[in-house]
């Protein structure tokens, strides 16, 4: 239902989970996609191979978005490959569990560097390119329901997600004159490799506390992303679309025994 033919999209953190689903979905909708990765080259290249097998265009691009140089080179690489940039999805992020009273400086710097700094400077590099092109664009960032409701042991992570949502609201003032929209998507409990590695019972536990009685899947986030990237959302900017099966309506959580059992601090 969404046609992105002729568009060029960049997705950070595209080697697995939600990021991979976003990259594949944008390619299926017709966009040429730069699938960014930091360490998981095989995952990103497998996603690109899947795009090409389906007749799409894609390329895997390595970059560490926790550095400004990495963010800028990522956008430059995308433009060298495809000639322009129309859609930037700043998805790359790390989840960092740990009790506040024991949380370490290294863990704090890592989660802020990727989730907050990386999102900010990827958006900046993308917006500069879009403004230079002169015909607008779409920037979408990944937030989280933890930017809206408290979740135990995720204080630093939640802080970064609240921060990117405020960034989105502020940047409306500066990007709208360039016809660039910027919005956030705040996923709830999504079944992916990272969450299942943390807790093998993740899906079952969260299904008990979500009104729609299931944990989300990466494809649930993709639907929201395709809408915000499309012409149908051309007058929507500065907003956060929560995709959580109704969880933030009342926000109970399962237990986080895996944090307590393993004594995890900032991991």
Whether 224 maps to a domain, the answer reads: yes
Q: What is the mean pLDDT of residues 160-185?
A: 98
- The answer as to whether 83 is a domain residue is yes
- Residue 262: pLDDT above 80? no
> pLDDT of 28-66, one tens digit each?
999 999 999 999 999 999 999 999 999 999 999 999 999
Angle between helices 17-28 and 41-53 (to 10 degrees): 20
Looking at the 3D structure of the chain, how many domains does it have? 1
Is pLDDT at 189 greater than 60 in this prediction?
A: yes
Q: What is the mean pLDDT of residues 196-208?
A: 92
For 17, residues 6+ apart whose C-beta sits below 8 A from its C-beta are 190, 192, 193, 194, 218
pLDDT tens, residue by residue, 65-99: 999 999 999 999 999 999 999 999 999 999 999 99
The DSSP secondary-structure symbol of 165 reads: H
Percentage of residues of the chain with pLDDT beyond 90 = 90
What secondary structure letter does DSSP report for 114? Answer: I
Q: Any idea what the CATH number is for the domain that residue 61 is in?
A: 3.40.50.720
pLDDT of residue 265: 61
In a domain, 2, yes or no: no
> Measuring CA to CA, how many Å separate 49 from each of 35, 65, 85, 227?
11, 23, 21, 25
* First-residue to last-residue Cα distance in the chain: 39
pLDDT of the residue at 258:
80
| Across 147-170, average pLDDT | 97
Query: What confidence score (pLDDT) does residue 75 get?
Result: 98
φ, ψ of residue 56 to 5 degrees: the values are: -95, 180
Q: Which of 9-13, 175-179, 190-194 has the lowest mean pLDDT?
A: 190-194
Q: pLDDT confidence of 267, banded at 50, 70, 90? A: low
Q: Is residue 55 part of a domain?
A: yes
Instruction: Give the model's pLDDT for residue 261.
Output: 74
In a domain, 112, yes or no: yes
Query: Nearest-CA neighbor of 7 among 121, 90, 119, 83?
Result: 83
Strands 32-37 and 8-11: parallel
What pLDDT band is residue 1 in, cutting at 50, 70 and 90? Answer: confident
What is the rounded CA–CA span in Å between residue 75 and residue 191? Answer: 29
User: Model-level pTM?
Assistant: 0.94
Asked if the model's pLDDT at residue 225 lies above 80, the reply is yes
Closest CA to 93 of 169, 147, 137: 147
Average pLDDT, the chain: 95
- For residues 18 and 95, the answer to whether their CB atoms sit within 8 Å is no
* 97 is a domain residue: yes
CB 44 within 8 A of CB 36: yes
Give the model's confidence band at 266: pLDDT under 50 very low, under 70 low, under 90 confident, else very high: low
Domain enclosing residue 219, as ranges: 8-262
Strands 87-90 vs 58-62: parallel, antiparallel or unpaired: unpaired
For every residue of 24-77, DSSP letters joined together read: HHHHHTT-EEEEEESS-HHHHHHHHHHHHHTT--EEEEE--TTSHHHHHHHHHH
Q: Is 169 left (phi over 0), alpha (psi -120 to 50) or beta?
A: alpha
Q: Check pLDDT > 70 for residue 25.
A: yes
Give the DSSP per-residue string, 190-230: B--HHHHHH-TTHHHHHHTTSTTSS-B-HHHHHHHHHHHHS
Annotated catalytic residues are 144, 157, 161
Residue 267 placed within a domain: no
Residue 33 lies in a domain: yes
């Amino acid at each position: 239902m969404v046609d992105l033919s002729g568009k060029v999209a960049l997705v950070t953190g595209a080697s697995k989970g939600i990021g991979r689903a976003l990259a594949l979905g944008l390619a299926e909708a017709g966009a040429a996609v730069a699938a960014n990765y930091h360490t998981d080259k095989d995952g990103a290249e497998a996603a690109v191979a899947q795009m090409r097998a389906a007749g799409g265009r894609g390329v895997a691009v390595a970059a560490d978005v926790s550095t400004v140089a990495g963010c800028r080179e990522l956008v430059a690489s995308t433009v060298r490959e495809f000639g322009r940039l129309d859609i930037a999805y700043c998805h790359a992020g790390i989840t960092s569990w740990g009790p506040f009273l024991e949380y370490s400086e290294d863990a704090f710097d890592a989660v802020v560097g990727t989730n907050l700094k990386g999102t900010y400077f990827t958006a900046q590099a993308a917006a500069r390119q879009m403004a230079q092109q002169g015909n607008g664009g779409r920037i979408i960032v990944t937030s989280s329901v933890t930017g809206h409701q408290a979740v135990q042991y995720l204080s630093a992570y939640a802080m970064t997600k609240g921060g990117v949502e405020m960034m989105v609201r502020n940047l409306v003032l500066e990007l709208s004159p360039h016809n660039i929209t910027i919005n956030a998507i705040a996923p709830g409990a999504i079944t992916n490799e990272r969450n299942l590695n943390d807790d093998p019972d993740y899906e079952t536990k969260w299904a008990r506390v979500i009104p729609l009685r299931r944990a989300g899947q990466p494809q649930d986030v993709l639907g929201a992303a395709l809408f915000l990237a499309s012409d149908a959302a051309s007058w929507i900017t500065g907003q956060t679309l929560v995709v959580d099966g109704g969880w933030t309506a009342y926000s109970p959580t399962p237990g986080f025994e895996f944090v307590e059992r393993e004594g995890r601090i900032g991991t």
